[in-house]
A and B are shown apart, each in its own frame.
Chain A
């Protein structure tokens, strides 16, 4: 042992503290994660810390920041628009997450059945395809589809004698319209993740249960669901975080209008930061969203212990 270590030490004299193999391995490990760590620090951790700092200031980008203490946080409680945009964001999150994950699961279960080879790929690709298209392009296409007077959706509804719907300019319809587009676009990703989960379930479980006389619903409830619960959990967390931060699809479709009826929290943050140049207040709002996402994620992890089964 010692004779093996000795010659190496001679070949690579190096600093004293690297004398041990384990130390050298550790160094290599650190070097490997260094780029990621630097990126994380520069682009995620740094901005978060900066946002916390800026949230205590009045800062318009062009003139130096001045410290205002908790003023921006006090304003959070007297801002009626903040309540509206939080309401919109929560409404969007509840429906977008449940529909994306629910429909994704349904599609995955359907596509996991025995379907002739090529057809299986056609279906999977078709449902996943919207995920691949840049959101802005698909949003513009949806904007055309949703037009009240020239949109193709209202054209076909008209053939069924249904009055044209102002999808994007009616206060009742605007958020549902955005959710519909979001589900069309994003459910394919949930489907793909579920498919991977489903394919990991050994067929032996199903065969055994079927021998015991379980029906399809029972198979799904007692075998499929528990065994894909980690996947389901993953999807719920990912979709929840994404939905709470919804921005681009709304920006392209309605810019938050009419009025504030479709304005999401992140659009509101953007508006304050880059249109009103109120970086301090925008940062304070962003911090509230950050805290809420952290808390919700922790709650989900805690609840997850009860229903997520890791093999």
Chain B
């Protein structure tokens, strides 16, 4: 009787958390429709702009903060404050009358953050109307679909918020302009670039030009349950741990059966989430210039086999659920049914809201390479914009310390500005938070050619086959390589 009651309660708790998890997953992409409605599969899209729920609590309290100096002792605060937008060379006069239209997307937290930034901008430019086409979706595919159809329908915005997954597509289609001149002619542009890790700027470089200004980003780290590690007398993972260490740890954590089953590791089963397995093996799914499939690389097979075996050979990971959108890992992890899993920064708010704090983060275990992945979100200016200088001024506000600080407080993505990411607010939890921004040193961007949607879909479809044992890793990758090669050839041939 008792157990039954407890079970039911457990189930309810899990279900509640899943609701949060579901939104969390959104960050990438897979979400089911209510909030999200998801096309592709994985929370992949999310990469750059993962936006779980929001912090309803955090947002309101954050509001009265503007006056205080953002806690960032490191970088030159003087430069930032000394260069008010209107002072920049070529900035439109404060009495300019215009309408600026924006395409952006995300969750509720983002909406609030953007709205606050717009309000600050309007203090400088009171006659400017901002038309915010905020799309409450959480997958990159959905958003790119919306942008494409709107643009096709003749509605071109001035400013577009795009994650790296879509950058090459919009550049290729000539939808946005390079921003190098704006950056180099504007002191606050230079200050901004100086405060952002080069890896994030490089993510938006195509043909040597910078096309977007980063606002936030995400990576993949291992989350581990500190209480479970302690109870099982397992030392916390070291920064330099290997795949072997990881597997040994996962085996130790895997216990029980039926209702009491606990798994060592929940596989983050989405495009972005699977990338670290390739990177830490010193390979990737596409060739380094992202022009061709690299799935026939034996190292890719080794990586995929390792992931496959976690479920089917070592049995330290639960089945991955097709391509469905619920972040089961988040539910299981918070319920103490998973010792470890992998995410970017996005699930932390959800864990907090469910009062789950027994976790910390560590770098991905390495096989032959120590590296991680990053995806970035940023603002670009439309080629057809009639108000480009004004749009640039607004982008500066959208990437100002104040705005980025709000991003950090909302706790969803990792702020693009180093000064904020290294500030006390962002670092307060979990203990090892410094490695979020720190991981950028050796990190590689998620592969994002102009046909990203297709690459992601092909890869995840075959991974679904492989993980459900519908095909072996060898056969699955062989077929995937063939299909991906054809897709890449099609891209090259226009």
Which residues from chain A sit less than 8 Å from chain B, CB to CB?
61-63, 136-137, 139-140, 143-144, 147-150, 152, 155, 158, 166, 168-171, 174, 248, 251-262, 270-271, 274-277
Minimal Cβ-Cβ distance residue in B for A273: B145
Contact call A150/B332, Cβ cutoff below 8 A: yes
Q: Are B332 and A149 in contact (CB-based, < 8 A)?
A: yes
- What does the 1/0 interface line of B1-25 toward A look like (CB < 8 Å)? 0000001000100110010001000
A259 in contact with B464 given A136-B37, A147-B321, A150-B14 (CB within 8 Å) = yes
Q: Which B residues are in CB contact (< 8 Å) with A155?
A: 7, 11, 259
Tell me whether A255 and B149 are in contact (CB under 8 A): no
Complex: how many Å from CA A70 to CA B14?
52
B492: interface (CB < 8 Å): no
* Residue B454 lies at the interface, judged by CB distance under 8 Å to chain A: yes
Please determine whether A169 and B467 come into contact, CB atoms closer than 8 angstroms.
yes
Inter-chain contact A150/B33, CB cutoff 8 Å: no
In the bound complex, CA of A155 to CA of B335 (Å): 16
Q: A148-B318, A169-B319 are in contact. Are A257 and B152 (CB under 8 A)?
A: no
Q: Is B322 an interface residue (CB 8 A)?
A: yes
Contact B454–A252 (Cβ < 8 Å): no
- Nearest-CB residue, chain B, relative to A261: B470
Which of A143, A169, A256, A275 touches B32 (beta carbons < 8 Å)?
A: A143
Q: How far is the CA of A276 from the CA of B461 in the complex (A)?
A: 14
Instruction: Answer yes or no: B453 CB below 8 A from chain A CBs.
Output: yes
The listed residue (A137, A253, A258, A276) touching B467 by CB distance below 8 A is A258
Choose from B7, B33, B259 the contact partner of A136 (Cβ within 8 Å): B33
Question: Contact: B259 with A259, CB < 8 Å?
Answer: no
B328: CB under 8 A from chain A?
yes
- Chain B nearest CB: distance from A141 CB in Å? 9
CA distance A144 to B325 in the complex (A): 11
What number of A-B contacts does a CB cutoff of 8 Å give? 147
Neighbouring B residues of A255 by C-beta, 8 Å: 30, 38-41, 322-325
Q: Give chain B nearest CB distance to A225 CB in angstroms.
A: 39
B38 proximity list for chain A (CB < 8 A): 251-252, 255
A-chain residues with CB within 8 Å of residue B318 when the two chains form the complex = 148-149
When the two chains form their complex, are residues A275 and B259 in contact, meaning their CB atoms are under 8 A apart?
no
Q: Which residue of B lies closest to A147 (CB)?
A: B328
- Residues on A with C-beta less than 8 A from B419 are none
B261 within 8 A of A: yes
In the assembled complex, the Cα of A271 lies from the Cα of B453 at a distance in Å of: 9
Whether B32 lies near A136 (C-beta < 8 A) is yes
Q: Are A61 and B148 in contact (CB under 8 A)?
A: yes
Chain B, 252-275, CB within 8 A of any chain A CB: 258-259, 261, 263
CB distance from B177 to the nearest CB of A (A): 16
Contact B324 A168 (CB under 8 A): yes
B322 and A174 contacting across the interface, CB-CB below 8 Å = yes
Q: Quick one: which of A144, A174, A252, A255 has the most chain B CB within 10 A?
A: A255
- Which chain A residues border B148 with CB–CB below 8 Å? 61-62, 277
Instruction: Enumerate chain B residues within 8 angstroms of A251, measured Cβ to Cβ.
Output: 32-33, 37-39
User: Which of chain A's residues have a CB closer than 8 A to the CB of B37?
Assistant: 136, 251
The answer on a CB contact under 8 Å between A166 and B319 is yes
A140 interface neighbour in B34, B39, B328, Cβ under 8 Å = B34
Q: Which of B175, B328, B451 contacts A149 (CB 8 A)?
A: B328
A295 to B257, CA, bound (A): 52
Residue of B nearest to A252 (CB): B32
Contact of A274 with B465 in the complex, beta carbons under 8 Å: no
CB distance from A273 to the nearest CB of B (A): 9
Chain B residues within 8 Å of A, Cβ to Cβ: 7, 11, 14-15, 18, 22, 30, 32-34, 37-41, 141, 145, 148-149, 151-152, 173, 175, 258-259, 261, 263, 318-326, 328, 331-332, 335, 337, 451, 453-454, 457, 460-462, 464-465, 467-471
Q: List chain A residues, Cβ under 8 A from B319.
A: 148-149, 166, 169-170
Q: Nearest chain A CB to B17's CB is how many angstroms away?
A: 10
Could you tell me the distance in whole angstroms from the C-beta of A156 to the nearest C-beta in chain B? Answer: 10
Enumerate chain A residues within 8 angstroms of B471, measured Cβ to Cβ.
Answer: 259
A contact residues around B30 at 8 Å (CB): 255
Task: Give the distance to chain B from A179, nearest Cβ to Cβ, in Å.
Answer: 15
B326 contact from A144, A170, A171, Cβ within 8 A: A144
Could you tell me if A140 and B22 are in contact, using CB atoms closer than 8 angstroms?
A: yes
Kindly list 19 other residue pairs between chains A and B, CB separation below 8 angstroms, not including A61-B152, A149-B319, A254-B324: A147-B321, A147-B328, A149-B318, A150-B11, A150-B14, A168-B321, A169-B321, A169-B464, A169-B468, A252-B38, A253-B322, A255-B323, A257-B322, A271-B39, A271-B457, A275-B40, A275-B453, A276-B454, A277-B148
A162 to B343, CA, bound (A): 33
CB of B39 within 8 A of CB of A270, answer yes
Instruction: Note all chain A residues with C-beta closer than 8 A to B141.
Output: 274-275
Min CB distance B175 to A, Å, is 7
The answer to whether B145 touches A257, judged by C-beta atoms less than 8 angstroms apart, is: no
Complex alpha-carbon distance, A252 and B323, angstroms: 10
- When the two chains form the complex, which single residue of B261, B322, B326, B331 contacts A258, counting CB atoms closer than 8 Å? B322
Q: Within 8 Å CB of A137, what residues of B?
A: 34
Complexed CA–CA distance, A62 and B156 (Å) = 12
Q: Give Cα distance in the complex from A148 to B317, angstroms.
A: 12
CA distance A256 to B325 in the complex (A): 11
| Residue ID in chain A nearest B34 by CB atoms | A136
Query: When the two chains form their complex, are residues B321 and A148 in contact, meaning their CB atoms are under 8 A apart?
Result: yes
A162–B149 CA distance with the chains assembled, in angstroms: 49
Residues of the A chain whose Cβ atoms lie less than 8 Å from the Cβ of B469: 171
- In the complex, are the beta carbons of A261 and B468 less than 8 A apart? yes
> Closest approach, in angstroms, between the C-beta of A196 and any C-beta of chain B?
32
Q: Is the CB of B22 within 8 A of A254?
A: no
Task: For residue B425, give the distance in angstroms from its CB to the closest CB of chain A.
Answer: 33
Residues in A whose Cβ lies below 8 Å from that of B149 = 61
B residues less than 8 Å from A259 (CB atoms): 461-462, 464-465, 468, 470-471
Whether the pair B331, A150 counts as a contact (CB closer than 8 A) is: yes
24 A-B contacts (beta carbon < 8 Å): A62-B148, A62-B152, A63-B173, A136-B33, A136-B34, A143-B325, A143-B326, A147-B328, A150-B14, A158-B259, A171-B470, A252-B38, A255-B40, A255-B41, A255-B323, A255-B325, A256-B323, A259-B461, A259-B465, A271-B39, A275-B40, A275-B454, A276-B453, A276-B454
Whether the pair B464, A147 counts as a contact (CB closer than 8 A) is no
Chain B hits for A276, CB < 8 A = 451, 453-454, 457
Q: Smallest CB–CB gap between A60 and chain B, Å?
A: 8
Residues on B with C-beta less than 8 A from A254 are 322-324
Cα A253 to Cα B331 with chains together (Å): 17
> What CA separation (Å) do A143 and B38 show in the bound complex?
14
Q: Which residues of A contact B465 (CB under 8 A)?
A: 258-261
- For B19, the closest partner residue in chain A by CB is A140
Of A136, A169, A248, A251, most buried by chain B (CB within 10 Å of CB) is: A169
What chain B residues lie within 8 Å of A260 (beta carbons)?
Answer: 461, 465
Nearest CB on B from A87, distance (A): 14
- With a cutoff of 8 Å between Cβ atoms, the chain A residues found around residue B32 in the complex are 136, 139-140, 143, 251-252
**Known pairs A170-B468, A257-B41, A258-B468; A150 contacts B328 (CB<8 A):** yes
Specify the chain B residue showing the minimal Cβ separation from A170: B468
Complex: A261 Cα to B462 Cα, angstroms = 11
Q: Tell me, in angstroms, the Cα distance from A149 to B317 when the chains sit together.
A: 11
